[in-house]
Amino acid sequence: MADSFGPMRDEDADDGVVGMGPDSGTPRKEPIRVLVVDDHALFRRGLEIVLAAEEDIQVIGEAGDGAEAVEKAADLLPDIVLMDVRMPKRGGIEACTSIKEVAPSAKIIMLTISDEEADLYEAIKAGATGYLLKEISTDEVATAIRAVADGQSQISPSMASKLLTEFKSMIQRTDERRLVPAPRLTDRELEVLKLVATGMNNRDIAKELFISENTVKNHVRNILEKLQLHSRMEAVVYAMREKILEIR
């Protein structure tokens, strides 16, 4: 069944959004091109109105289900796909994988009412870079789009908490199972990965470890290459699953 929702709040949200990724601060020359995907026409229209007020964001198209989203993504090649999870014909998570195939450079943010852990995990596995609940404020939508376009991962705090809790349970359940040896990370890379797992961005990690922000970026790049992953969020998921990191 499709999601139902109330109007987004115009006031600042109390929870905010947990972000993971670089904070370049470099202005973009071209607007961020966004494809809006939701089975509610009224919600799509509301997002378009809100985002139209942002000079650096341009809504280039919309779709009412996952199947249409894949077609539009292939045709329009958006920078960001803002997509619901549960839709008729084809859901957002299923469409996520196909969109990454037809528009590899597109980054996908799931914007949904679903606070189910299973939807979050499957969305990450399918290649989503963000997972936000529709309770966030209108201002936070634009902020999240900019952050993901700049290389960050965005997740609602309540979902981040569930993610970490599940990781801990998963590790405990697999204590007696022998795991395939993971690629070896250096001590410094492990330090960086642990800080990434807390939600810190590159600038904060640099301050914490007394190194430059560029050095942090290089460490993150090396971590992703060694683990053969595509995003910081995937690196954290992999590291916790393989017991590279220990959550206490």
Residues of the chain with pLDDT > 90: what percent? Answer: 38
| Residue 165 pLDDT | 63
Q: Which CATH architecture has domain 18-160?
A: 3-Layer(aba) Sandwich (3.40)
Tell me the C-alpha distance between 9 and 202, whole Å: 30
Q: Locate 123 and state its tokens.
A: 């969305």
CA 5 to chain centre: 21
- How many angstroms separate the Cα of 4 from the Cα of each of 42, 92, 94, 114, 152? 11, 15, 19, 10, 28
Task: Domain ranges for the chain, please list them.
Answer: 18-160, 174-241
Strands 107-112 and 18-20: unpaired
Q: 174-241 maps to which CATH number?
A: 1.10.10.10
| Residue 12 pLDDT | 41
Asked whether the whole model's pTM tops 0.75, one would answer no
Residues 6+ apart with CB under 8 A from 76: 33, 35, 60, 61
Tell me the C-alpha distance between 44 and 202, whole Å: 33
| Residue 114 pLDDT | 79
Structure confidence by residue, pLDDT tens digits, 141-157: 999 999 999 888 888 76
Structure confidence by residue, pLDDT tens digits, 94-144: 899 899 999 999 999 998 887 777 788 888 888 888 888 888 887 889 999
Residue 8 pairs in a beta bridge with none
